[in-house]
Amino acid sequence: MMNKRIYMDYSATTPMREEVLEEMMEFMKTEYGNPSSIHSFGRESKNAVDTARDRIAKTMNAKGKEIYFTGGGSESDNWAIKGYAFANKNKGNHIITTKIEHHAVLHTVEYLVKNHGFTATYLDVNAEGLIDLEDLKKAITDETILITIMYANNEIGTIQPIKEIGAIAKENKVAFHTDGVQIYGSGKIDVDELNIDMMSMSAHKLHGPKGIGALYIRPGIRLDNLIHGGAQERKKRAGTENVPGIVGFGKAAELAYEDLEERIEEKIRLRDKMIDGILDNIPYTLLNGHRTHRLPNNTNISFRFIEGESLLLSLDMVGIAASSGSACTSGSLDPSHVLLSLGLTHEVAHGSLRLTIGAYTTEEEVDYVLEQLPPIVERLRQMSPLYEEIQGGN
């Protein structure tokens, strides 16, 4: 039997780096104090929290006091959007976003529209997943208070023209939030240069712990709290601080940005090998997302005539962990809204496969995937009535 375990799902979550766990251990074992406490147990936790805040701030040219810890990327998205909308509803009720946002943004905007009197524009994307800046400009009205556009897409890896979006937002005096969950830790970010007012992050995407995230908030940007209560996080996000999580996040951020350039290069090399290896060797395939404005770790390919979940199961049986935009993996009926927004038919969207690599991915693993994939695809196609039709037509 197969006992290889090849992880190709780094965009879903990542293993913690050893150094990260190591730094966390102290705070899970001995330094358990509450940072808000006055006694020495608490004081050491407080220092550790401040250090982590500074480490993260440094990676994006921000200040420690502009970083607020949250319980994860979804909370950050919810807070930025609901918090800003509620705090600024006297200025207007219109929000601009895109059709390919993560559900943490999309469902949040939909909720505000459905239940709290806001309106929204959902920008289209082109076949590569890029928005049109002209569309954005046209969408802005006197009522527009917030633009929320993701930095890089979690499914197809497409990276938006964030700097241009930031400039448009600034020019129009509209706040700009970006979901940076996928890019943070894998891309160079300068919040000033990019005119980002708020940015969501999630530690477990960059070899940090799960259940901890952050929101960058530019000074002057006012938002209602999402979680009211104690005075933690300068009164903006209540709840006893998850000190080990925060410490781990800080360490992970520091490590991610230590040797960023090299790691980006290496990932792009492996990613391109994966993409070309599949497109060149398996017929009826197509790359989803932009060929170059793309996360360094993302391969997303549609295999026509087969369905994603059965592909995933087959890969899992040979030890490869991947993901798919197939509806069947989410328990819903429709395939990924992102893939449909690219203009894919339902059938093609159902047959998508996402392979995302990470810090521990080796060339051998990529080779192994390239070796295993063709017979699996062929076997599933042989079972498919859609393939039969095509073959019959030849």
Partner 1 sequence: MYTEIVMDHFTNPRNVGEIKDADGIGQVGNPKCGDIMKMYFKIDENEVITDVKFKTFGCGSAIASSSIATELIKGKTVKEALNVSNKKVVEELGGLPSVKIHCSVLAEQAIKSAIYDYASKHNKHYVELEGFDPAAAEEDHH
Q: Which option in partner 1, a second copy, ligand PLP, none does residue 323 bind, with CB closer than 5 to 8 A by kind?
A: a second copy
* Least distance between a second copy and beta carbon 380 (Å): 15
- Residue 154 or 384 with smaller CB distance to ligand PLP: 154
Of 281 and 345, the one with the shorter C-beta distance to partner 1 is 345
Q: How far is the CB of 183 from ligand PLP (least distance, A)?
A: 9
Residue entry with tokens 């994307």: 125
Beta carbons of 120 and 94 less than 8 angstroms apart: yes
| DSSP symbol at 82 | I
CA 389 to centroid of chain Cα atoms: 38
- Indicate if the alpha-carbon torsion angle 258, 259, 261, 265 is positive or negative: negative
C-beta of 166 vs 277, nearer to ligand PLP: 166
Residues 74-103 that bind a second copy (CB under 8 A): 74-75, 77-78, 86, 102-103
Q: Where are the alpha helices (DSSP H) in 159-259?
A: 162-171, 232-235, 243-258
In degrees to the nearest 10, what's the CA dihedral of 187, 197, 159, 128? 180
* Chain center to CA of 326: 18
User: Cβ 119 to a second copy, closest distance in Å?
Assistant: 17
Single residue of 144, 160, 195, 202 touching a second copy by CB under 8 A: 202
Burial class of 150 by CB neighbour count within 10 A (0 to 12, 13 to 18, 19+): buried
Q: How many CB atoms lie within 10 A of CB 374?
A: 14
Q: Using CB under 6 A as the criterion, what x/- string covers residues 188-217 for binding ligand PLP? A: --------------x-x--------x----
Q: Is 238 labeled as catalytic in the residue annotation?
A: no
Q: Which option in a second copy, partner 1, ligand PLP, none does residue 15 bind, with CB closer than 5 to 8 A by kind?
A: a second copy
Cβ at position 77, least distance to ligand PLP in Å: 6
Cβ-proximal residues to 350 (8 Å cutoff; 6+ apart), any chain: 307, 308, 325, 326, 327, 328, 335
| Least CB distance to partner 1 at residue 134 (A) | 32
Which SS3 state, helix, strand or coil, does residue 124 take?
coil
Can residue 304 be called a binding residue for ligand PLP (CB under 6 A)? no
CA dihedral 109, 115, 120, 124 (to 10 degrees): 60
Q: Are strands 198-202 and 213-217 parallel, antiparallel or unpaired?
A: antiparallel
Residues near partner 1 (CB under 8 A) = 38, 43, 46, 305-310, 313, 317, 326-328, 331, 333, 335, 345-347, 350, 382-388
- Using a 10 angstrom Cβ sphere, with 0-12 exposed, 13-18 middle and 19 or more buried, the burial of residue 217 is buried
- Going across the sheet that includes 352-356, the strands are 285-287, 298-303, 352-356
**Site for a second copy (CB under 8 A): how many residues?**
75
Contact letters for a second copy, residues 289-318 (x by CB under 8 A) = --------------------x--xx-xx--
Contact call for residue 233 and ligand PLP (CB under 6 A): no
Out of 17, 55, 204, 251, which residue is the one contacting a second copy (CB under 8 A)? Answer: 204
User: In terms of Cα–Cα distance, which of 146, 148, 150 is closest to 173?
Assistant: 146
The least distance separating partner 1 from the CB of residue 272, rounded to whole angstroms, comes to 30
Interface residues for ligand PLP in 97-136 (CB under 6 A)? 102, 104
Are 131 and 122 contacting, i.e. CB atoms less than 8 angstroms apart?
Answer: no
Residue 388 interacts with, from partner 1, a second copy, ligand PLP, none (CB under 5-8 Å by kind): partner 1
- The residue annotated as part of the active site, out of 328, 340, 370, 386, is 328
Q: Based on CB atoms, which residue is closest to ligand PLP, 52 or 181?
A: 181
Per CB under 6 A, contacts with ligand PLP among 31-70 are: none
CB of 50 to a second copy, least distance (A): 16
Active site residues per annotation: 328
